[in-house]
Structure 1
Amino acid sequence: MSAAELTQGAVTSRDGTEIGYYKTGTGPAVVVLHGSMESARSHTLFAEALADDFTVYLPDRRGRGLSGPHRPDHGVRTEVEDLEAVLTAAGAERAFGISAGGAVVLEAARTLTSLKQIALYEPAIVAEGAPHREWLARFDQEIAQGDVAAAMVTSMFGFEMAPAFLKVMPRGLLRWTTEKMMAKEERSADGDTITMRQLAPTIHAEGTIVAELGGTFDAFASVDAEVLLLGGTKGLPGLRPGRATLENVLPHVRRIEFDGYDHGSSSDPGGVNPTGKPEAVRRIATEVKTFFQQ
């Protein structure tokens, strides 16, 4: 999707913070809420696949691109208020959320009456919240020291995203590899790209959200919205049990697991998502579109 096909807009959240978004397409409104280490532009292919039938809003969550900064007490409530501002401006009754964004969309469906249909790709709802706070102090220290690569490694283990083979690699080697990967992305990035190095500080807020919602499955039994629950067989292992639990808890839910798809399969290929494939984005978008058209 070219930049010319995306228009920009902004809303003001409850605390006065500006939340910017991109917009494309025609028809009923759908808000797409990106996940961790992503921005609004991470789902342009997904938006393009829906644009013939829906007006798609792609907000930047706080700390990124078009939107204002996190506040010191940032948490799930702030995220829901930001999403509510976009939903209200768009007149949207539908939302698609990815990873931590999926967790926010699910919490919004529990607490807001405006959402009638939601689709979630690997929502970041885990069994226990407490362990997901333990690594944040080290992460914050490394960010403060300017050692972004080390902080990224810390968050990878903190979120339990590391594949088994990485767990036996020396931490120094992982840090070196991460630094090289970020440098390579920066060399090829255009002016509109929000790079991994720029996104890294936002991980603190993601960790806070995951910890806050950890173990809250039973609360979602009150969700009235229709839910499409999506994931991939190669997605994050730590999130798979949560989907199984949500499938049992949510009153109106349909679940699809895509064979061979990973945690980034709904997102545009790029530096932070090197395994992304356009055909996977289109397939997921087709399922979401069909669901939203019901």
Structure 2
Amino acid sequence: MRTITSTDGTTIAYEQTGSGPAIIVVSNVAEDHAAVAGLVTALAKDFTVISFDRRGRGASGDPQPYDPAREIEDISALIDVLGGTAALAGGSGACGLALDAASALGDKVSGLYLYEPPFIVDGSRPPVPADSVEHLEALVAAGKRSEASEYFMTEVVGVPAEYLPMMKADPSWEQMAAYAHTYSYELQIWRGLQDGKPLPTDRWAIDAPIAVAVGGNGEAFMRTGAEALAAILPNVTVLTLADHDHGAFWAAPDPVAEQARTFLLG
């Protein structure tokens, strides 16, 4: 791992691999850069790729209070490492940060590949509870990290409660609990995007080309959200990754990388 110092003095740890046009892979909530290693390897055949530990994860710092704007500064500093321009790729929750960064950083972001951003723009599934940030922060402050993970999975992601025993038996649950403080971080980024209402028309101004991919086996509300984004931004292409679901960004890196490569490199 290499490190950079972000604008506010925070250490951000990252890995760089491959050669070619620059791309940064943004990891999801409750995971560090290792979670996207498969996709990084697949993209590195054609790109210079950076993956990094977002604030509060892995070897990166976590000064308080948390502010989503600092994560945009982290991405800006990583783009500078790559020469001043880079594409961004993210799956699920990471798409919110990628969109905010692209809007704030302008020409520094050359393109976006987003896989199944979980927008909730109508009544097709329950919205995220309005007090979820405060509830999660209270659980973490009380040392109830596993309970915070349970709440996030059931009330935010929508995982049926009967699946929790199987999830908790998997070794990955321990890391999720260790990173439980990042649930509230992610939901601060996603405020206004998961409440069952239309996407805000004044949040993003992005001229770079954007691919929003949805799995052919994914949930219908994901496609509805992708089409909603295409309706408010000028250069959005909605793609389908046939025969895959929400986990493809992590479990099927080769077809995801091929789709991103085709879009971003033409």
The answer, yes or no, to whether TM exceeds 0.5 is yes
2:246 maps to 1:263: yes
User: How many pairs are equivalent?
Assistant: 257
Question: What residue is the counterpart of 1:97 in the other structure?
Answer: 90
The answer to whether the Cα contact below 8 Å between 1:223 and 1:250 also exists between their aligned partners in 2 is yes
Pairing 1:197-236 to 2, within 5 Å after superposition: 197-211=177-191, 213=193, 216-219=199-202, 222-235=205-218
Q: When the two structures are superposed, what TM-score results if normalisation uses the length of structure 1?
A: 0.78
Confirm or deny: 8 A CA contact 1:131 1:211 kept in the other structure: no
Counterpart for residue 79 of structure 2: 87
What is the SS of the residue equivalent to 2:54? coil
- Per the alignment, do residues 177 and 138 of structure 1 end up closer, same or farther by CA in structure 2, a change over 3 Å counting? farther
Aligned to 2:115: 121
**Are the structure 2 counterparts of residues 127 and 107 from structure 1 closer, same or farther at C-alpha, using a change threshold of 3 Å?**
same
Cα deviation digits, residues 133-155 of structure 1 (max 9, x gap):
41233323332333322211111
Pair 245,68 (structure 1): closer, same or farther in 2 beyond 3 Å: same
1:221-272 CA-partner distances (Å, limit 9, x unpaired):
63100111112244455544321101222211221122342222111xxxxx
Q: Which residue of 2 aligns with 1:12?
A: 5
- What do residues 145-184 of structure 1 show as CA deviations (whole Å, max 9, x unaligned)? 333222111112331422xxx25x5xxx94x555433xx4
Say yes or no: does 1:67 pair with 2:60: yes
Shift of 1:88: 1.5
Separation (CA, whole Å) in 2 of partners of 1:240 and 1:96 = 18
Q: If the length of structure 2 is used for normalisation, what is the TM-score?
A: 0.85
CA–CA distance in 1 between the matches of 2:204 and 2:144? 42
SS in 1 for 2:180: helix
Identical aligned residues as a percent: 28
Q: Secondary structure at the match of 1:112?
A: helix
Of 43, 48, 51, the residue aligned with 2:41 is: 48
CA distance in structure 2 between the partners assigned to 1:144 and 1:23 by the alignment? 34
RMSD (Å), alpha carbons: 2.5
SS of equivalent residue, structure 2 residue 177: helix
2: distance between equivalents of 1:85 and 1:124?
A: 27
Mapped to 1, the partners of 2:45 and 2:187 lie a distance apart of 35
Cα deviation for residue 205 of structure 1 reads 0.5
Give the structure 1 partner of residue 148 of structure 2.
Answer: 151
Give the corresponding residue for 2:232: 249
Q: Which residue of 2 aligns with 1:283?
A: 255
2:100–2:204 Cα contact (<8 Å) kept: no
Deviation at 1:71, TM superposition (A): 2.5
Displacement of 1:52 after TM fit? Answer: 2.2
**Aligned with residue 70 of structure 2, among 56, 66, 78:** 78
Quote the offset at 1:284 in angstroms.
0.8
Tell me, yes or no, if the aligned pair for 1:30 and 1:54 is still in contact at 8 Å.
yes
* Alpha-carbon distance, 1:210 to partner: 1.1
CA distance in structure 1 between the aligned counterparts of 2:254 and 2:133, rounded to whole angstroms: 35
1:14–1:264 Cα change, 3 Å: same
Instruction: Measure how far apart 1:195 and its partner are.
Output: 2.1
CA offsets, 1:196-215, max 9 Å, x none?
A: 23222211101111115555
On the 8 A contact 2:32/2:58 being kept in 1, the answer is: yes
Q: Is the 1:229–1:254 Cα contact (8 Å) retained in structure 2? A: yes
Match of 2:20, SS?
coil
Are residues 1:195 and 2:188 paired? no
- Can you give the 5+ residue segments of structure 1 that lack an aligned partner in the other structure? 1-7, 187-193, 268-275
For residues 166 and 37 of structure 2, the distance between their equivalents in structure 1, rounded to whole angstroms, comes to 28
What's the offset of the Cα at 1:19? 1.2
